[in-house]
Amino acid sequence: MRYWLFKTEPSAYSFEQLRKDGTTPWTGVRNFQARNNMMEMKLGDLGLFYHSSIAEPAAVGTCKVVATAHPDFTQFERTSEYFDGRAKPDNPLWYMVDVAYGEEFARPVTLARMRAEPRLVGMALLRRGQRLSVQPVMPHEWKIILELGAL
């Protein structure tokens, strides 16, 4: 089983919203590396749910992969901001997984807190200029962040 990190701007889709929805298709990923990460995901893989582009960016809880990669329907929707004319239903370009709400951290693990943790040196999220919206998390990093979140 592998671990991942799902990055989202809470104004676009928040952990709170996932709690209400139960599960959600992770639409809108338009970066090949992030897409390839999703295509590697297996049922039952776990993810950190990370809120970005806010005053205190933070991992706020966990989620679980409940459907492996399947075509992201928004690439075919002309009115969607994620529409991609290069994609055809019989030849999709973009994929998504479905994720389910997991557990909320007792305390969000802020980006600043992660940077201050020596054991997290080398974590992908903390690399300069890191922008991938879906990225792998190493098992030891997962363990440390759950500790910090006091889950």
Contact residues for DNA (CB under 7 A)? Answer: 7, 9, 30-33, 52-54, 57, 111-112, 115, 127-133
The distance of closest approach from Cβ of residue 59 to DNA in the complex, given in angstroms and rounded to an integer, is 10
3-state secondary structure of 107: strand
> In sequence order, which ranges of 61-126 are alpha helices (DSSP H)?
111-115
Choice between 81 and 90, CB closer to DNA: 81
The distance of closest approach from Cβ of residue 16 to DNA in the complex, given in angstroms and rounded to an integer, is 18
Tell me if 38 sits within 8 A of 29, measured CB to CB: yes
Cα 87 from Cα 125, distance rounded (Å): 30
Tell me if 17 sits within 8 A of 11, measured CB to CB: no
Choice between 39 and 54, CB closer to DNA: 54
Q: Which residues pair with 104 in a beta bridge?
A: 61
Alpha-carbon Rg for the chain, nearest whole angstrom, is: 15
The distance of closest approach from Cβ of residue 43 to DNA in the complex, given in angstroms and rounded to an integer, is 25
The distance of closest approach from Cβ of residue 10 to DNA in the complex, given in angstroms and rounded to an integer, is 11
Choice between 44 and 56, CB closer to DNA: 56
